[in-house]
Amino acid sequence: MAQGTGTTLRTVLLIFLTGVFLAGCASKQPSNLAQSEAKAADTPMIQAVSSGDQDEVESLAESGASLNTLTEKGTPLEAAVRAGEDRIAWFLLSEGAAPDRANPDGNTPLMIAAADGQRRLVRLLLSAGADVNARDAEGTTPVMLAARNGHLTVVKVLLAAGANVNVSQDGRSLLMQIVEGGDLLTAEMLVAAGADVNYRNEDGRSALDLARAGHKRDLEMLLIQAGAEI
């Protein structure tokens, strides 16, 4: 009886220790995914990505080169986005590169892709879990960048992914910024997506006030038809 009890205890202890060991292994992050910092000149991965050398990128990754090192030129993923290297960006993300690792200015790879109108990369980053409403050091979001640059297809993708159409910055809503810039097509898309046409800044000015001040008749009519308070 006592021998059976001892055997049972040893078995339970063995199972417990095995579970602890496996849990430790599962939670240990690969060293090449650590979010460290370095000079771009000291990171062959950044150089390989920037030159579009996918074979070298894969070789470096296989040998343990860091995928999330932040340099003055950003991360390897940012370098891929800036170079428009869709395949390399996909590879880095599939290997575990952090989609929201921001550069010193607070710009994430998604912000850069949105600002450049790179729809395929925007979709890729979103599918990898990139924060669609991330803000940089100035409070700018990806949809703001896409809208300001007139990238309508990217704006549509971001809004469909949950981008806040009523985001504001320095007291001005995104709609107000676009109206002030005179972009009718983008303003139409924002209104259709539910932008608040009656949002007012601290001075009490609305998008309609800005349209009238700039003598932008088409935008004025759009806002009034959308329910802007006259």
Percent residues over pLDDT 90 in the chain: 77
Give the 3-state secondary structure of residue 174.
Answer: helix
d(CA 141, CA 135): 5
Lowest-confidence region among 54-58, 68-72, 186-190, 209-213: 68-72
Looking up tokens 């949950």, which residue turns up? 162
Q: Are residues 136 and 177 in the same domain?
A: no
Task: Compute how many other C-beta atoms are within 10 angstroms of the C-beta atom of residue 21.
Answer: 10
Domain annotation covers residue 215: yes
127 is in which domain, residue-wise? 102-142+149-163
CA distance 223 to 230: 9
Is 24 a member of any domain? Answer: no
- Could you tell me if residue 23 is inside a domain? no
Same domain for 138 and 185: no
* Judgement on whether residues 190 and 228 belong to the same structural domain of the protein: yes
* Residue 28 belongs to a domain: no
Q: Which of 25-29, 179-183, 217-221 has the lowest mean pLDDT?
A: 25-29
- Looking at residue 188, its pLDDT comes to 97
Q: What is the pLDDT of residues 58-78, one digit of tens each?
A: 999 999 999 999 988 899 999
**Token pair listed for 26:** 């599962």
State residue 30's pLDDT score.
60
For residues 90 and 109, membership in a common domain is answered with no
Residues 223 and 180 in one domain: yes
The tokens describing 37, both together, are: 């910092």
Same domain, 132 and 169: no
Mean pLDDT of 147-155: 97
Confidence of residue 214 (pLDDT cuts 50, 70, 90): very high
In the predicted model, what is the mean pLDDT of residues 143-148?
97
Is 94 inside a domain boundary?
Answer: yes
Specify which residues 172 forms β-bridges with.
169
**Given this model, what pLDDT does residue 43 score?**
85
Looking at the structure, do residues 131 and 190 belong to the same domain, yes or no? no
Report whether pLDDT(28) > 50: no
CATH of the domain at 72: 1.25.40.20
Question: Taking residues 159-165, what's their average pLDDT?
Answer: 98
Q: Are 113 and 104 in contact (CB under 8 A)?
A: no
Residues 107-131: pLDDT tens digits? 999 999 999 999 999 999 999 999 9
Domain total for the chain?
3
- Residue 217, domain member (yes or no): yes
Shared domain check, 90 and 49: yes
Mean pLDDT lowest for which of 20-24, 48-52, 126-130, 165-169?
20-24
Residues 179, 158: one domain?
no
Residue 19 lies in a domain: no
- Both structure tokens of 176: 């107000």
Average pLDDT over residues 150-160: 97
Nearest to 177 by CA among 159, 156, 195, 158: 195
**177 and 224 share one domain:** yes
